[in-house]
Amino acid sequence: MSLSCGCHFIPPHVIEEMAKNGHDGAQASLEISRAHRLRRDERTVNLVRQLHPDGQPLAAAAGATGTAQRKVYDCGHGTALHVPTRLVRSEGGAVVVDPIVNQVYDFAGNTRDYLKTLGRNSIDNNGMDLVLNVHYGTNFMNAFWDGDEMVFGDGDNQVFTSFGKSADVVAHELFHGVTQFTANLVYKGQPGALNEHFSDVFGSVVQQIIKKQNAGNADWLIGDEIMGPTLRGEALRSMKYPGTAYDNNLMGKDPQPAHMDQYYAGPNDNYGVHINSGIMNRVFYLVAMDIGTTAAAGIWFETLGKLWSTAKFNDAVAVLVRVARNQVAQGKVPLGSPQSVRAALKSVGLPR
């Protein structure tokens, strides 16, 4: 039975419930409904954004659909985003003097190209432009996705250097956009940890593609390129050995668990979104080692499209295994992939 046409007559919560129970038609319908909702939200946002308070149109407003063009803005250590007069490199533009501008431009292009190989047209699958803001704030020690565009700080040059010089950071932030337009995982607790996990996974996958690496020779570290001069060799997260990425006086000790027995249930970090993601990161690493990064990433990407906003680890377990089985049947991944996924999940204590 197809639910993708006529879905307006079925209440969204019923479709979501059917999707949770593994009904592929319902999952497809859920995805279409989400896309409609997000485009509607986006139109509203654009209507608001297209007019600056002074009445001037903001042509560069994020979220404009079209041809997935890259637009890099230099915040000049301020906090205003996509200021039209500060557009320093746009699609097809020449290399500029500032290496950070060129790096985020290239890494965003690499990620966009990878999305194409997965059959996706940019963040929203509708050619959304990739808006990247660099040199945000003063000594700003973070990178984030604001719901429409990416933002990168320069770090304090002690703990962190520029966040824009790392492919896994840029791909991580861009994939938060992809998650927003697919599963739209709530940024709290287990759905939030899944949100972070998918960004780490595809940040790592894009990095491996750029460096022409495979699961066996990749470092599986996140953020190692942005560590400050006194912290070289450290990283922010290890997908291979969660909890071992750093241990020093400036950063403290990596709190990521590698098993559900060490699950962090406290209130910090939106109830552990960057902490408990380590458990699922370890699962991806193990599966990639077994069937290859490309095949594992294919399973994970399809899973992201089938999850829903409140999905928890056990939900992801069920969908991952079902997707792996389907992809074996379609000849997309090697025989034994579902067993590889189950074994990896079991080794971290999932399902629970």
- Residues 99-128 binding other proteins (CB under 8 A) are none
- Catalytic one of 31, 42, 173, 234: 173
Residue 146 interacting with other proteins (CB under 8 A): yes
Residue 334: CB atoms within 10 Å? 13
Instruction: Identify which of residues 181 and 290 has a Cβ nearer to other proteins in the complex.
Output: 181
Residues in contact with other proteins, total (CB under 8 A)? 42
Q: How far is the CB of 274 from other proteins (least distance, A)?
A: 3
The answer to whether the CB of 28 falls within 8 A of the CB of 302 is: no
Q: How far is the CB of 57 from other proteins (least distance, A)?
A: 23
Q: How far is the CB of 306 from other proteins (least distance, A)?
A: 20
| 345 burial type by CB count under 10 A (0-12 exposed, 13-18 middle, 19+ buried) | buried
For residue 31, which phi and psi values (nearest 5 degrees)? -65, -40
- Candidates 186, 210, 260, 343: give the one binding other proteins (CB under 8 A): 186
Q: How far is CA 11 from CA 33, 69, 315, in A?
A: 11, 36, 21
Q: How far is CA 271 from CA 189, 191, 303, in A?
A: 5, 10, 23
- Classify 70 as helix, strand or coil: strand
The answer to whether the CB of 254 falls within 8 A of the CB of 237 is: yes
Q: Is 173 a catalytic residue?
A: yes
Residue 61 interacting with other proteins (CB under 8 A): no
Q: Could you tell me the two tokens for 97?
A: 């003097």
Residue range at the interface with other proteins (CB under 8 A); choices 66-74, 167-175, 209-217, 290-298: 167-175
Instruction: Identify which of residues 202 and 328 has a Cβ nearer to other proteins in the complex.
Output: 202
- Catalytic one of 135, 172, 197, 274: 274
- Between vectors from CA 20 to CA 7 and to CA 327, what angle results, nearest 5°? 95
- Candidates 269, 294, 326, 342: give the one binding other proteins (CB under 8 A): 269
Q: How far is the CB of 66 from other proteins (least distance, A)?
A: 21
Q: Is 172 a catalytic residue?
A: no
Q: How far apart are CA 62 and CA 221, in angstroms?
A: 30
Q: Which residues bind other proteins (CB under 8 A)?
A: 79, 137-147, 156, 160, 163, 169, 172-173, 176, 180, 186-187, 195, 223, 236-237, 249-253, 255, 264-270, 273-275
Q: So which residues are the catalytic ones?
A: 173, 274
